[in-house]
């Protein structure tokens, strides 16, 4: 059965901390892994990773894929209260998207 | 349009009633997806369309759920004889082609009383 597992399920940190979110997957016909940020209702796209070992970076956020370990990490440095959200990992297998349950991040001032 | 639009944003209905949820995808996107998300869970796949046809409806939970996309753009998710367990946020997403980045709407929060 195809599945995507995220850890931790929830995380509470103080502003300025660095966090690492994990995503592991078992998906047939793997094509890409995506990270989304979900505040309120609509997930917003962060990164799409297709190749192993190539870091994608956007400001304080970065992500990398390890296809040998079937996993990815999302790093957020110098966290801010605006980073509080649910971070979703999704894997494209064929034309299907498989989502993890998400990591709920709370950043305390 | 500029983004994926879903209406209504909130829908409250009574058990046993029929509801329709609408999704207007990004213009030119051929693939359209419906998901259901319960509290504390990731989006759960329901159905996806490539053009006008349902390419994969394996996620629809039972025959009370049905979706159409008659002209290859706007889609409607229809739920018959609603049950309290249908309460959730229903998300719609579109992508230029299947298997590419999906862009999500703000969702419809359905509450079945």
Please provide residue A95's backbone torsions phi and psi, each rounded to the nearest 5 degrees: -110, 10
Q: What is the pLDDT of residues A9-40, one digit of tens each?
A: 999 999 999 999 999 999 999 999 999 999 97
Q: Are B108 and B88 in contact (CB under 8 A)?
A: no
DSSP string, A50-71: -STTPPEEETTEEEEEETTTTE
Find the mean pLDDT for residues B1-13.
91
Does pLDDT of B1 surpass 60?
A: no
Q: How do residues B32-66 score in pLDDT, each as one tens digit?
A: 999 999 988 889 999 999 999 998 898 999 999 99
User: pLDDT tens digit string along B70-93?
Assistant: 999 999 999 999 999 999 999 999
- CB-nearest to B99 from A31, A45, A101 is A31
A24 in contact with chain B, both atoms CB, cutoff 8 A? no
What token pair was written down for B18? 């029929």
Question: Mean per-residue pLDDT for A66-80?
Answer: 97
Cβ neighbourhood burial of B95 (10 Å; 0-12, 13-18, 19+): buried
* A contacts of B102 (beta carbons < 8 Å): 34, 45, 90, 97
CB pairs under 8 A between A and B: 57
For an interface test with A, which of B5, B42, B57 has the most A Cβ atoms less than 10 Å from its Cβ?
B42
């Amino acid at each position: 059965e195809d599945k995507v597992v995220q850890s931790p399920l929830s995380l509470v940190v103080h502003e300025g901390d660095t966090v690492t979110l994990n995503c592991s997957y078992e998906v047939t016909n793997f094509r890409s892994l995506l990270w989304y940020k979900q505040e309120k209702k609509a997930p917003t796209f962060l990164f799409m990773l297709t190749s192993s070992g190539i870091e994608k970076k956007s400001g304080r956020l970065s992500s990398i894929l390890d296809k040998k370990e079937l996993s990815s990490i999302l790093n957020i440095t110098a966290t801010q209260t605006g980073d509080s959200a649910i971070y979703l990992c999704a894997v494209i297998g064929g034309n299907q998207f498989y989502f993890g349950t998400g990591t709920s991040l709370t950043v305390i001032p | 349009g500029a983004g994926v639009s879903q209406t209504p944003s909130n829908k409250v209905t009574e058990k046993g009633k029929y509801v329709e949820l609408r999704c207007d995808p990004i213009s030119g996107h051929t693939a359209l997806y419906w998901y259901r998300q319960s509290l504390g869970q990731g989006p759960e796949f329901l159905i996806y369309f490539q053009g006008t046809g349902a390419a994969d409806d394996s996620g629809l939970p039972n025959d009370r759920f049905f979706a159409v996309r008659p002209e290859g753009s706007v889609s409607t998710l229809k739920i018959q004889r609603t049950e309290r367990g249908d309460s959730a946020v229903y998300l719609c997403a579109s992508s230029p082609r299947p298997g590419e980045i999906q862009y999500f709407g703000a969702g419809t929060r359905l509450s079945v009383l």
